[in-house]
């Protein structure tokens, strides 16, 4: 398996909590596509196999016009051939979804939509500085269905001060009513580069306690499970047969090529990244150079820690037989201690974090690092 990720570094405004690399779309998108086509030509040989998944993320991929999307897909097709794709996902924002755009996304070859809904309440959406209302999100979902998309993922956010128990149950209930195939759910965090980060530094925002967030997470797990969704990763829930293939490959440490400023790549041994700098990216590629960025060759300990960190995000956990034997010996006392506390389940050579402890998985995994 190998995947391609394209980072679309444009938004038409910025959400309160977001620190993803993105710029205002005005005027730069055509230059970015030209540079991206050049990057595709330079990196044709990065994956040694035809890609099986494609993911357009951002930023806001749904901002791309018809001409821009066609140009991007043509460049990807000529660089990599997209005939072996098993999944092609595009992230969309509800306010961009029209019948025309939905038809275009299908025609361009996308069979999966990931839509950021985040909440089903206009006051909270306004506070988050989202560009859509709850009603628009519902309308967008139905428009996607009418266009024939039968694999839709909706994103929700919990763990912020404006959310209380009833409003969270309302959000979860609205998602369940829409019955998407997949749900991703993230805890809002205070990122230093975000507007929320500035508010927190100025003393104008305080996060809810971890106990409150843990209770919201547990409600989510319970309600989605009751509605027939199976949790397969810390933040992801799917109906049978609809796990996200692209993201699942990240957790299995399969190779992927990331294109665009701010994108990361992995060839199975080393990690690479493009600098999050659109102007520098366009200038370098136009001058016949590689996109500015860096790389890191992973040590045996880095690989071991990544295997734990990524594998233990998933409900199946990981097979310790695939880990470095010497490092595993070093981690064994910590593994046994975690199992004794109920933080890990040991099944033959497999280890996994039980669903009830996934909320604190970061601390559980960090204690095993070598």
- Binding-site member from 52, 53, 60, 62 for ligand SF4 (CB under 6 A): 60
Report the Cα–Cα distance between both ends of the chain, in Å, rounded.
28
Reduced to 3 states (helix: H, G, I; strand: E, B; else coil), residue 352 is: strand
Helix or strand (DSSP H, E) at 71: helix 66-80
Q: Which one, 93 or 151, has the nearer CB to ligand SF4? A: 93
**Segment near ligand SF4 (CB under 6 A); pick from 9-17, 77-85, 152-160, 348-356:** 9-17
Residue 129 vs 145, nearer CB to ligand SF4: 129
User: CB 13 → ligand SF4: shortest distance, Å?
Assistant: 7
* 260 is a site residue for ligand SF4 (CB under 6 A): no
Q: Are strands 318-319 and 350-352 parallel, antiparallel or unpaired?
A: antiparallel
Measured CA to CA, the distance from residue 291 to residue 117 in angstroms comes to 33
CB of 300 to ligand SF4, least distance (A): 35
Cα 22 from Cα 34, distance rounded (Å): 18
| 59 touching ligand SF4, by CB under 6 A | yes
Told to check if 58 binds ligand SF4 by CB under 6 A, we report yes
Q: Which long-range contacts (CB under 8 A, 24 or more apart) does 118-126 make?
A: 118/155, 118/156, 118/157, 119/156, 119/157, 119/163, 119/167, 119/171, 120/170, 120/171, 120/174, 120/175, 121/167, 121/170, 121/171, 123/162, 124/162, 124/163, 124/167
Residue of the chain from 6, 15, 64, 331 that contacts ligand SF4 (CB under 6 A): 15
- Asked if residue 157 binds ligand SF4 (CB under 6 A), the reply is no
| Interaction residues for ligand SF4, span 94-133 (CB under 6 A) | 116
Q: How many residues touch ligand SF4 (CB under 6 A)? A: 11
Assess whether the previous peptide bond of 221 is cis (omega < 30° from 0): no
Contact pick of 53, 89, 93, 231 for ligand SF4 (by CB under 6 A): 93
Considering the complex, state which of residue 7 and residue 112 has its C-beta at the smaller distance from ligand SF4.
7
Check residue 89 for interaction with ligand SF4 (CB under 6 A). no
Q: In the complex, what is the shortest distance from the CB of residue 171 to ligand SF4, in angstroms, rounded to a whole number?
A: 16
Which residue, chain included where needed, has tokens 């200038």?
Answer: 283
Parallel, antiparallel or unpaired: strands 264-266 and 345-347: unpaired
Name the one range near ligand SF4 by CB under 6 A: 56-64, 95-103, 201-209, 283-291: 56-64
Any idea what DSSP says for residue 316?
T
Q: Binding to ligand SF4 by residue 6, rule CB under 6 A?
A: no
Task: Give me the residues that bind ligand SF4 (CB under 6 A), please.
Answer: 11, 14-15, 18, 20, 22, 58-60, 93, 116
């Amino acid at each position: 398996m190998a995947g391609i990720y394209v980072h679309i570094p444009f938004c038409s405004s910025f959400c309160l909590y977001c620190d993803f690399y993105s710029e205002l779309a005005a005027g730069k998108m055509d230059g970015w596509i030209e540079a991206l086509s050049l990057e595709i030509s330079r990196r044709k040989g990065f994956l040694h196999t035809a890609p099986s998944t494609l993911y357009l993320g951002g930023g806001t991929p749904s901002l791309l016009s018809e001409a821009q999307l066609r140009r991007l897909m043509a460049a990807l097709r000529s660089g990599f051939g997209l005939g072996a794709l098993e999944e092609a996902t595009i992230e969309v924002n509800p306010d961009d979804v029209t019948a025309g755009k939905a038809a275009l996304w299908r025609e361009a070859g996308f069979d999966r939509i990931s839509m950021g809904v985040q909440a089903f309440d206009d006051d909270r959406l306004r506070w988050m500085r989202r560009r859509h209302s709850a009603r628009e999100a519902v309308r967008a979902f139905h428009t996607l269905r009418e266009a024939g998309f039968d694999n839709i993922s909706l994103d929700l956010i919990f763990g912020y001060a404006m959310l209380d128990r009833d409003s969270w149950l309302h959000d979860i209930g609205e998602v369940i009513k829409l019955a998407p195939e997949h749900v991703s759910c993230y805890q809002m965090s205070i990122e230093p580069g975000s507007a929320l980060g500035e508010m927190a530094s100025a003393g104008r925002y305080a996060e809810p306690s971890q106990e409150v967030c843990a209770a919201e997470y547990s409600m989510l797990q319970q309600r989605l499970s009751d509605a027939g969704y199976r949790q397969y990763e810390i933040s992801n829930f799917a109906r049978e047969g609809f796990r996200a293939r692209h993201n699942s490959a990240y957790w299995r440490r399969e190779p992927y090529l990331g294109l665009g400023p701010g994108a990361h790549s992995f060839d199975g041994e080393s990690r690479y990244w493009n600098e999050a700098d659109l102007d520098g990216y366009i200038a370098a590629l136009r001058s016949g150079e590689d996109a500015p960025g860096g790389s890191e060759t992973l040590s045996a300990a880095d690989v071991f820690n990544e295997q734990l960190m990524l594998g233990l995000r998933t409900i199946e956990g990981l097979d310790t037989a695939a880990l470095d034997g010497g490092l595993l010996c070093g981690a064994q006392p910590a593994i046994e201690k975690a199992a004794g506390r109920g933080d890990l389940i040991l099944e033959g050579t497999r280890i996994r974090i039980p669903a009830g402890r996934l909320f604190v998985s970061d601390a559980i995994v960090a204690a095993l690092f070598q």
